[in-house]
Structure 1
Amino acid sequence: MKTTFILSVATALTSVAFTPALAGQLRTNTKSEGLFNGRNLAGWTNVNTARDTWVVKEHALYCSGSPTGYLRTDEMYENYILDFEWFSVNGRDLPELFIHSDALPAVGSPFPRGIKGPALGAGLAATGGASIKPRRFAGNIILGGLWNSYRLESLGGTIVVSVNGKEIARGTAAMPRKGHIAFAATGPTIAYRNIKVDRLPTHHPTANQVAAAGTGWTTLFSGEQLDHWELKPGHRGHWVARDWLIDYDGKSEEKDKCLWSKTSFMDFMLIADVRFTREPETMPAPVILPSGEPALNEDGSAKTVDLPYFGDTGIYLRGHSKNQINIGNRYIGSGEIYGYRVDRNLPAEVRAGVTPTVKADKPVGEWNRFIITMVGDRITVELNGQVVIDQAVLPGIAPAGPIALQDDHWNDNRFQFANVFIKPLD
């Protein structure tokens, strides 16, 4: 027996029915490309979910819905017609789709910057700093039987989405205009099959109209399990995987409270998003000069200023606490390599080089993104899009070693890490 579901969706812009307008104009004689071969995930990258979040069986791609994250195409697409079939286990959910998306997640999000397909109660939407002008969104979306058809048409920033032959959403002025196609895991169990794309002639987008690429990155946290990290007995219940977040409550019972990676790394780039979760309190912070030396009062005592303090963490590199990227709202901002800055046995130029040149921290409670590049004994630290340490020298640093997420000296040191990705350079 065929069952028909009518989704009474709140109408965002208008409630009239639409006939797809772009397909007839754009259809070419080119052969559709299969984006999914029905056997494995060739051509796709599981960005930040568990291995069993996406399973291929019976020529269909099944998404378990957790942990939260996404699967994207290896290639980017600009102008095209995307067709596929889907069904949801509960018979009510629309596909969870992103287009024109970046390769990696947006700051503080499990999803990329891009254009999100329509969902129950909402039309096309922009995420992570992307943009689109929603023009139409139809109510009473009709789902029939087990499998339903989905078409998305993209041309020069205009996007049209149709379900079972009826237009349900439209938007214009999409930005970016070229990027990855991605399916998201957001809770519901959904299956996909017969995923095909017809490429259309390019409009030659400019560089700022193309999504950010990202090849060679491997996640060090895939949600729900800390399987890339040494979870010692005293860490359990304190360093916790909470869906797409690594949450720390500041109360590890281990002598070494840090969470160390199981793998050692030589030269690499590392991405990590960090935010503090405790309430700030006002505390004195030492004033540090650009040279890395502490500023002094007239009587020779250390000069301080009162700043909101909300904790302290960091990232240890190559197996030693001296190689710590400090994270905390200090006077000079995050990013200093503390163990080298305070080592008076090192030359002055080395200590100045590991002192941040700009304070780039976001306000308390907001996410900060670090991009760390370690090559040989040289390190560069970018914080929230600003280079705070530029090609600093770390004399004597080991050639390889594990990474650690740091908590080593403060009570109630609460924070979260997310989007921890590494790209080996050796």
Structure 2
Amino acid sequence: MAENSKNLVYMKKQLLLTFLPLLLLAQDDFKPLFNGKNFDGWRNINCAPNTWSVKDGMIHCTGKPIGELRTLRMYENFILEVEWRHLKPKGNAGIFVWADAYTAKGQPFHRGVEVQVLENAYGNTRGYTTHGDIFPIHGAKMTPINGRGGSRAFPTENRSKPSPQWNHYRVVCNNGDISLAVNGKVVTRGKAARPRKGYICLESEGSPVQFRNLKIKELPSTNPKPEEIAKAEEGFHTLYTGIDLAGWKADKAGTWSSNDWRLTTKGGTALRSEPKFTEYVMFADFRAEGQNAPFHLPNVGDIAELKAITKGWNRIRVTRRLGQTKIELNGKVVIEEAIRESGPLKAGAFVLAPKVPTQFANIFVKELK
């Protein structure tokens, strides 16, 4: 009987150890944001297939290329808790809140508010710290509390731990206000953020980093206006891994290179996608001299000279479906025509065909049915 009693006590202890964390999580209304097994609820936006992986119940990021892992759904008001650690000194990463579904023009990052994840050896300057800065990027807005003249909010004290130690972040987002507790104490705050409803992202930025114990508690809505909501998911997927030319073939070897999140060429030789498309919506960013959009697209052909092309980054968006061609440049419709035709359309590759040195980024496509 004594032995049976010991076994029963042992079993009860094991059950308690197994289910107590789940019970505590349920009692305070937190829910796992990451299930510890796979990326259900998450999406790799613009990284290579192996940039993000699950190891030992943690999210592991190689840091290459620069890019984002994003939630499938938006969040408005919430409390987010996460543990993170860099695996090398001077590591750089981040957590984005209220972010758009896709990357900003000419950038590997989304418009949103970033909660900085920097390793201590990166150093501290007047412009940034390694202890939990918060700042809006790429068109987002936020008023910093404890700022230094710009839009970045700085922590009131240094609390983060160096690699390879774990750090705990508690991010509270409510009605456009945001606060960050680092290892148990609130140190950084901002207010009046726009957007104030959007996606949550984890950032890859050059160095291996791990995340674990992600959980979220949603708070009541404060009814954001449409202009206060981030740009939503549209079903696009990337055609560029950020680390190599997988899925593409150059007409001449050695003329194209993968420069992290940018594709670069000196011009004069085409690069063709291996997948082929018939009806689709695509968008891509490019930067080059001149007024020609360096694309040859299926059932569209060469895109003609576009006077609205700028010297900086441009974003072209092309819709081609049976009976319609629509071309937008930097958010404005520049060509739209109805076409009298009978289907089906022919499948073809996307061709990048610049005649001058050009950079490309953020090549996304959505196939239409």
TM-score normalised by L of structure 1:
0.71
Match of 1:211 among 230, 237, 250: 230
- 2:210 is aligned with 1:191: yes
Q: Bigger shift: 137-146 or 107-116? A: 137-146
> Is the CA contact 2:95–2:202 (under 8 Å) kept in the aligned structure 1?
yes
Match of residue 143 from structure 1: 161
Once the two structures are TM-superposed, the CA of residue 402 in structure 1 deviates from its matched residue by: 1.4
Once the two structures are TM-superposed, the CA of residue 125 in structure 1 deviates from its matched residue by: 1.1
> Is the CA contact 2:242–2:259 (under 8 Å) kept in the aligned structure 1?
yes
Distance 1:114 1:240 in 2: 29
Q: Bigger shift: 368-377 or 94-103? A: 94-103
Match of 1:224 among 219, 223, 243: 243
TM-score normalised by L of structure 2:
0.82
Q: Bigger shift: 136-145 or 203-212? A: 136-145
Match of residue 7 from structure 1: none
> Is the CA contact 1:177–1:209 (under 8 Å) kept in the aligned structure 2?
yes
Distance 2:59 2:117 in 1: 20
CA distance change for structure 1 residues 142 and 220 in 2, over 3 Å: closer, same or farther? closer
Match of residue 125 from structure 1: 135
Match of residue 295 from structure 1: none
Q: Deviations over 1:314-360 (max 9, x none)?
A: 211227xx71113x5xxxxx1xxxxxxxxxxxxxxxxxxxxxxxx43
Distance 1:376 1:258 in 2: 26
Once the two structures are TM-superposed, the CA of residue 312 in structure 1 deviates from its matched residue by: 4.1
> Is the CA contact 1:118–1:169 (under 8 Å) kept in the aligned structure 2?
no
Q: Deviations over 1:93-126 (max 9, x none)?
A: 5751111000000000000000011355242111
Q: Deviations over 1:347-400 (max 9, x none)?
A: xxxxxxxxxxxx4322x2x11111110001420011111111123438699432
- Which amino acid in the other structure matches residue 361 of structure 1? I
- Which amino acid in the other structure matches residue 171 of structure 2? L
- 2:330 is aligned with 1:384: yes
Once the two structures are TM-superposed, the CA of residue 91 in structure 1 deviates from its matched residue by: 5.7
> Is the CA contact 1:53–1:64 (under 8 Å) kept in the aligned structure 2?
yes
> Is the CA contact 2:92–2:205 (under 8 Å) kept in the aligned structure 1?
no
Match of residue 268 from structure 1: 280
Distance 2:351 2:89 in 1: 44
- 2:345 is aligned with 1:402: no
Q: Deviations over 1:9-39 (max 9, x none)?
A: xxxxxxxxxxxxxxxxxx9966211111111
SS of equivalent residue, structure 1 residue 51: coil
Match of residue 414 from structure 1: 357
SS of equivalent residue, structure 2 residue 249: coil
- Which amino acid in the other structure matches residue 379 of structure 1? T
- Which amino acid in the other structure matches residue 127 of structure 1? I
Q: How many residues align?
A: 323
Alignment of 1:2-401 (within 5 A): 31-90=29-88, 93=91, 95-120=93-118, 121-122=128-129, 123-136=133-146, 137-138=154-155, 139-143=157-161, 146-232=165-251, 234=252, 236-251=253-268, 257-276=269-288, 310=290, 312-318=292-298, 323-326=301-304, 328=305, 334=306, 359-362=307-310, 364=311, 366-393=312-339, 398-401=345-348
- Which amino acid in the other structure matches residue 102 of structure 2? L
Match of residue 299 from structure 1: none
CA distance change for structure 1 residues 274 and 394 in 2, over 3 Å: closer, same or farther? farther
Distance 1:209 1:424 in 2: 29
For the pair shown, the structure with the greater C-alpha radius of gyration is 1
What are structure 2's unaligned runs of at least 5 residues?
1-24, 119-127, 147-153
> Is the CA contact 2:322–2:341 (under 8 Å) kept in the aligned structure 1?
no
- Which amino acid in the other structure matches residue 247 of structure 1? T
Match of residue 15 from structure 2: none
Match of residue 150 from structure 2: none
> Is the CA contact 2:297–2:348 (under 8 Å) kept in the aligned structure 1?
yes
Once the two structures are TM-superposed, the CA of residue 174 in structure 1 deviates from its matched residue by: 0.4
Distance 1:399 1:312 in 2: 25
- Which amino acid in the other structure matches residue 308 of structure 2? A
Distance 1:33 1:372 in 2: 39
Match of residue 282 from structure 1: none
Distance 2:297 2:209 in 1: 40
Q: Percent identity at matched positions?
A: 36
What are structure 1's unaligned runs of at least 5 residues?
1-26, 252-256, 279-309, 329-333, 335-358
Distance 1:392 1:102 in 2: 31
Once the two structures are TM-superposed, the CA of residue 42 in structure 1 deviates from its matched residue by: 0.7
> Is the CA contact 2:78–2:218 (under 8 Å) kept in the aligned structure 1?
yes
SS of equivalent residue, structure 2 residue 161: strand
Distance 2:270 2:228 in 1: 41
> Is the CA contact 2:281–2:368 (under 8 Å) kept in the aligned structure 1?
yes
